Amino acid sequence: MKFKGALLAAIVTVMTVLAGCEPLMVLDPKGPQAARQASDIMLSIGIMSFIVIAVFAILVFILIKYRASKQPKDYEPPHIEGNTWVEAICVGIPILIVAYLSFVTVQSNYIVEAQPEGYEDKEPLTVYASSSNWKWHFSYPEEGIETVNYLYIPTDRPLEFKLYSHGPITSFWVPQLGGQKYAMSDMVTTLHLAADEEGEFMGRNANFSGKGFAENTFEVTAMSETEFEEWVDEVKETAEPLTEEKFEKLLEPGHLGKSTYTGTHLEFSPPPTHDHGTGDAEEHTEHENHESSEGSDHQQH
């Protein structure tokens, strides 16, 4: 009786605690890339649940059917040879499961690494997302603005993030928009995302990078294209320019709040030239160098 009471109390406690939990963000997608990954996760959970249930059912059957019985002390069980069908099932089914999940995983990798489905005909918004201890810097080269520790994006438009780091390796991750991807100091990696719904999402560094890792987060706000353009215009009118001296202070280890600037650090601190993606970072750097060269020639003339 005491055991049943303790078990009931434990179940009630667990249910009470879980009732206050928020839904898993990876299973609450707000974009096509995250929706694909959430679908794969649920597929994997479904297959694994079926396997677990089947194994426990077989275990119960074996325990009941072949439980100890009152046989004479000199009883010897009959010699039984291996069963070909049982061995084929025990080996074949796991092979089929692994092969199927491998196929789905490879297919999904190609899908999430490409421009989001349904957005192929739209021009992507390019954002350079770089990390430092322990902050995130978001540069909008086309808009000529930069933010720290927060990100504004338009909905229904593809997003192309160029990731790199000013220090240790970090990982850019917005769970409700897509999977994580590493940001490194010697190369640029490309991450394609999109937001189908307006709202505020949590983003963070998913790779341990020192004592300030836990607070290395940022906020993502998805809004309509019109609201995004209005925000860009407001930043250009009100924000202070980002100077090289100011950027050097931002790179110093520590935690900061949100800040906004006109101009980007790409003008005086370009990203790495090796682009593990479309090669846009190298083209961007070459374009800046070409413009600088033209400006020097113009001054000389």
Structural domain boundaries in the chain: 26-61+84-113, 125-295
What pLDDT is recorded for position 261? Answer: 97
pTM above 0.75, yes or no: yes
What pLDDT is recorded for position 15? Answer: 55
What pLDDT is recorded for position 39? Answer: 95
**CATH for the stretch 125-295:** 2.60.40.420
What pLDDT is recorded for position 278? Answer: 55
What pLDDT is recorded for position 50? Answer: 94
Spell out the residues 6+ positions from residue 238 whose beta carbon is closer than 8 angstroms to its own. none
For residue 116, the one-letter residue type is: P
What pLDDT is recorded for position 277? Answer: 66
CB atoms within 10 A of CB 172: 27
- For the chain, residues with pLDDT lower than 70 are 1-23, 277-301
